[in-house]
A and B are shown apart, each in its own frame.
Chain A
Amino acid sequence: METFFLALAELADPAIILIVFAGVSAGLFVGAMPGLTATMALAVLLPFTFTLTPLYGLVALGAVYMGAIYGGSFAAILVNTPGTPSSIATAFEGYPLSKQGRALEAISVATVASAIGGIAGVLFLLFLSPPLAKLSLRFGPSEYFWVAMLGLTLIASLSEGSLMKGLLGGAIGMMLGTIGVAPIGGETRFTFGMPVMQGGVEMIVALIGLFVLPELYNMAAQGRTALGEVTVDSKEKASFWSVVVRVFSKPGNLIRSCIIGEIVAIIPGAGGNIANLVAYNEAKRASKHPERFGTGVIDGLVATESSNNVTVAGSMVPLLTLGIPGAPPDAVILGVLLLHGLRPGIELFTTSGVLTYAFIVSMGLAALAMVPVGLLGGRLIYRIIFRTPYYFLVPTIGLATILGTFALRNSISDVIIMLILGTAGYLFKQIGIHPPPIVLGLILGSIAEVGYVQAMLGGAAYNYPILRLFENSLSWVLIVMVVFSAAWPFLMGVYRRMQLRRGSKENEK
């Protein structure tokens, strides 16, 4: 406990506050630009942290990470483009809100939800690290396979209209994911003799192409931006306090989303990209009016933005206790810890406890700093986008998109892939196949493949290697969830029909 208070004292340093604010601002910018990822921002920052003391360096990295995951929501809300994969579902509700002239309200909600999520993640990290770390180790190949299956059941709720078309989109995404060097086995697949295709279709490239380009084509075709003017009524609703009150008025949604965020965060390799989708899905399932989702529902926005910011500190549970990065950006933070001679594990919380606790609490500060930075920055970005005429906006976003795609892997072929996918995505949209299932298939396809092949290999000595998938109790928990999740829409259908029948019977009486 004494260590903890010493850590708090360390943070009462104007330099720390400055670093937190600068870090959050820089992260916000990176996150809002599609193509620039949190991992990249941290890698760029790495050499700078060597010149700082370990605490300053870690605080800067934590703040940038926090800001970047939050910043992704701006692009999602204002231009229907998830700035990072962590805010895919944010676009589902945020953009319709913008179209209705409630952009500022959406940004305020996202800001408050993100801050709450960020703080929740810090609390998980502070108080529940040991049991959560133990849980994270139980995820082996077969569990990964079932997690991916569980994720694929989300397609049912992500596909607007036809389930068939949603499944088709998911299949397209999974097929795109097979291009390149196989994650297991190292075979090159579907490269058509082109060496550059060994790199495959990077998820973020697909994300940018499939989400941004169709939107740009639409703006160009309609000759106007889709943003509606902010109405006076909405401006009042966007005020900080009214948003805080509204977000907290549904604690169930918040708590559920934060717990989902935390569980996804501790699974190594899965981060905000999956958390936001799962939280969104569950918010929709729990809602009394699931049919309204997709038209600008505040609950949906709260679910995605709180869950993805939980993963920032949340994914550091396995990192700080076991040295296992819970999400890609954590790998960079692990590198910094090691270079400063700090080995993850129990020592980190005892011998260098002051530093560690100060770092953890500083992430909470970063979450708080998002409120002023985000509310001001959000209004600024909104104004810029709203006031710019579409004939400047479309080419500007187009150029930023191309730059962002190139910057990801310094690869011109990624830009070409992005343009092809985006154009195809526009056409798919016309026939009712929407981007979310495609991106979901792309994310989950390779997780499922790796899990399946590793499980099969692990069962090489068995008569039936496939039994490996059904060995562990955690697998069975996941299997039950998969079955439940897949059957839910049908169960709901039956339930509704029964209610209708009862209603009509009562009427007859």
Chain B
Amino acid sequence: MSSKSNRLYQMVFVYLCLVAFILVVMPAAATAEYPEKPISYIISFNPGGESDVTARLQESHLEKFLGVPVNVSHKPGGGGAVAWSEFQRTAKPDGYTIIGVNIPHIIGQPMLRKDAGYETNGFELIMWFHFTPNALIVSKESPHKTLEDFLAYAKKNPKAATVGGSGSFSANHLETLRMERAAGVQVTYVPHTGTGPVIPALLGGHLTGAMGYSMLGVQYKDQLRVLAVAADERVESLPDAPTFKELGYDIVGGAFRGVAAPKGTPPEIVAKLANAYSETNKIIAEKQRQLGFVMTYATGKDAYALVDRMKKNYEGILQEIADQKKKQ
């Protein structure tokens, strides 16, 4: 009896070992020059978000181009600030630790928080690989068919129009503030704890509209209507949605996602990484474009120029908020 049950346990044990084995990734062979050991790719947000899903898509292609494993890990918290501050404090500039970065987060947080713990310019930027423009979105059942409808309602009823979005002083929030100024209306921005919770609030009629990312218009095509997109040109996957520019409001903005190395990383290593990311971007472009992303290839000087340009775009509003905060 006992030996029989022992054998059973042995079998179960062997089975569990097999399962564990399946879970372990086989390490790739090492090469002589950089990179010669696995690279740690930190994502400063939760699993399942846009940053994470993109990293998962990139992972296998990066491994192919770099010849070493690329390990994606998460360090969420503080809207990204926890990971970024620790990265700037502790990461070694040897190219084996890299981190996902986002605009406008890395511009806004250091300006508005007393102890964000990091600086906008404290990264060695590798590349900005895609852009998700902001878009003003309403439910399909909303009476507002166009941007003009929406703004007319907002003008007539100050503060009554509620606009949801992800986070405070985020891309969504700042774009809403810019829209208010550009159109001379007053709306109420309602922050949510991510893009996820905005959708049910919009569909359930708890919000008048939402300032979200353009992908939402693609993902929820049957349930949502995009009134205007904050991009220079129409987004490929949303051919019927006009841009704010077409409608006479100079509003261009959204979230850029990219990757950075610690300050002081040798330029040839940064270049090598930039090359791997660019090649990867080309491969995953088709999949991502379908989801509503706009692919970008800003490396080297262009990457820094992009930060400067977006900084200028947001500076006025950020400064205003910072001044208000000081007064309080």
Q: Contact residues of A with B, CB < 8 Å?
A: 22, 25-26, 29, 39-40, 42-44, 46-47, 50, 136-141, 180-186, 188, 191, 193-196, 198-200, 202, 268-269, 318, 322-325, 328-329, 331-332, 334-335, 338-339, 341, 343, 345-346, 376-377, 379-380, 383, 409-411, 450, 454, 457-458, 460-461
Contact = CB atoms under 8 A, between A and B. Distances in A.
A447 to B, nearest CB: 10
A39 B188 contact: no
B159 A461 contact: yes
Nearest to B47: A43
B59 interface: yes
A464 to B, nearest CB: 14
B159 A324 contact: no
B290 interface: yes
B297 to A, nearest CB: 22
A325 B12 CA distance: 34
22 contacts: A25-B15, A25-B16, A47-B56, A50-B60, A180-B77, A181-B79, A184-B191, A185-B168, A186-B170, A188-B78, A191-B115, A194-B115, A196-B82, A268-B197, A322-B223, A323-B199, A338-B219, A339-B57, A343-B221, A379-B9, A454-B191, A460-B160
A266 to B, nearest CB: 10
B264 interface: no
A269 B78 contact: no
B48 A185 contact: no
Contacts of A202: 77
A56 B20 CA distance: 19
A328 B85 CA distance: 26
Secondary structure of the B contact surface, majority rule:
mixed
Residue of A136, A180, A322, A335 with most partner-chain B CB within 10 A: A335
A22 B170 CA distance: 41
Contacts of A185: 168, 191
Interface of B: 8-9, 12-13, 15-16, 18-20, 22-23, 42, 46-49, 52-53, 56-57, 59-60, 73-79, 81-82, 85-86, 112-118, 157-160, 162, 167-170, 188-193, 196-197, 199-201, 203-207, 219-223, 287, 290-291
A328 B12 contact: no
A183 B190 CA distance: 11
A188 B160 CA distance: 28
Given A322-B223, A380-B12, A457-B162, A29 B19 contact: yes
Contacts of A341: 290
Nearest to B187: A460
A345 B199 CA distance: 14
A151 B220 CA distance: 32
B159 A460 contact: yes
Contacts of B162: 457-458, 460
A95 B18 CA distance: 30
What are the nearest 7 A-B pairs in CB distance? A195-B117, A199-B77, A198-B78, A43-B47, A186-B168, A331-B48, A140-B206
Given A29-B19, A343-B219, A137 B200 contact: yes
A345 B222 contact: yes
A16 B157 CA distance: 57
A498 B192 CA distance: 49
Given A43-B47, A46-B53, A183-B191, 8 more contacts: A43-B74, A137-B203, A137-B205, A196-B85, A322-B200, A324-B196, A341-B290, A410-B74
